[in-house]
């Protein structure tokens, strides 16, 4: 393992691990929302299984990275008077993943709002099965893993032992996320306003995935090229909203005292 004696390797490893954790926040939010309907004794198990599956998907995609990059080649083209697009494998995965997130998030918001008037009054809580939750986590893991791997490939391009560095960063980042995922999920699920904020974040992320997929497909609508939304804008909005909500929670806590 001579590559780990080089300073460039450690810089790339630390940077990539940090980025993997940042990109994995979306995954943790989705997993915490999905596992909230499970019995408490199954929530930790489902979270750990979900993150382990995410790690497996990332490693598999890294091993098949050449095929992943080849998915940029368009295999279907649409040319109409108002829209033109070149459909690629990458764009399909991102767009379908975004649509799934939009559907899941809006349906969860609808359930929570309507639940204030029906099931919640009767003391009932809608539950689901462990297998169903894991299936949902698997589907979204594929989308998030796809984005994560493309970022990793771009970060380590031209570095010796890039594949080993990427796999190591994925394993380390997943172990760190497994350590903090359950406390984060518990915090989100115990605070209704934070849960609604998390669902709103998922809607933003879903919309971002759709626009990114359309950008990769070189989509032009009414002579306007669809551009990708910079992730920095999204994460700033999330951080700002979380900061405001934390201040609100602190104020509510003081009023109760």
pLDDT at 3: 64
Neighbours of 241 (CB within 10 A): 15
Give dist(CA 15, CA 96) in Å, integer. Answer: 29
132/10 Cα distance (integer angstroms): 39
Tens digits of per-residue pLDDT, 46-89? 888 888 887 888 888 778 766 766 677 788 888 888 889 888 87
pLDDT value of position 124 = 45
Phi, psi of 47 (to 5 degrees): -65, -45
- pLDDT greater at residue 1 or residue 249: 249
Please give the pLDDT value at position 118: 43
Looking at every residue in the chain, the average pLDDT score rounds to: 77
- Confirm if 174 and 83 have CB atoms less than 8 A apart: no
Domain that holds residue 24: 2-256
Could you give the 3-state DSSP secondary structure of residue 67?
A: helix
Query: pLDDT confidence of 158, banded at 50, 70, 90?
Result: low
Predicted local confidence at residue 204, as pLDDT: 84
Q: Which pTM was predicted?
A: 0.65
What residue has token string 């894991």? 134
Give how many domains the chain has, as a whole number. 1
Which tens digit of pLDDT belongs to each residue from 86-97? 888 778 877 887
What does the pLDDT read at residue 212? 84
């Amino acid at each position: 393992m001579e590559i780990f004696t080089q300073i460039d390797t450690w810089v790339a490893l630390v940077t990539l691990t940090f980025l993997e954790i940042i990109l994995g926040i979306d995954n943790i939010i989705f997993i915490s929302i999905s596992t909230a309907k499970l019995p408490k004794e199954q929530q930790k198990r489902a979270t750990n299984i979900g993150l382990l599956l995410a790690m497996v998907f990332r490693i598999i995609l890294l091993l098949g990275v050449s095929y992943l990059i080849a998915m940029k080649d368009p295999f279907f083209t649409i040319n109409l008077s108002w829209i033109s697009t070149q459909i690629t494998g990458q764009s399909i995965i991102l767009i379908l993943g975004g649509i799934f997130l939009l559907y899941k998030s809006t349906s969860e918001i609808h359930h929570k709002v309507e639940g204030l008037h029906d099931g919640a009054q009767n003391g009932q809580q809608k539950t689901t099965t462990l297998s169903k939750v894991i299936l949902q986590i698997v589907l979204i893991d594929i989308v998030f893993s796809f984005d994560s791997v493309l970022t990793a490939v771009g970060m380590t391009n031209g570095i010796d032992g890039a594949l080993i560095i990427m796999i190591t960063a994925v394993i380390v980042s997943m172990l760190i996320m497994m350590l903090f995922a359950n406390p984060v999920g518990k915090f989100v699920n115990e605070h209704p306003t934070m849960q609604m904020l998390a669902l709103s974040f998922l809607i933003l992320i879903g919309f971002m995935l759709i626009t990114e997929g359309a950008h990769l497909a070189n989509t032009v609508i009414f002579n306007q090229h669809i551009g990708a939304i910079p992730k920095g804008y999204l994460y700033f909005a999330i951080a700002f909203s979380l900061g405001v909500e934390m201040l609100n929670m602190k104020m509510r806590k003081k009023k109760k005292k």
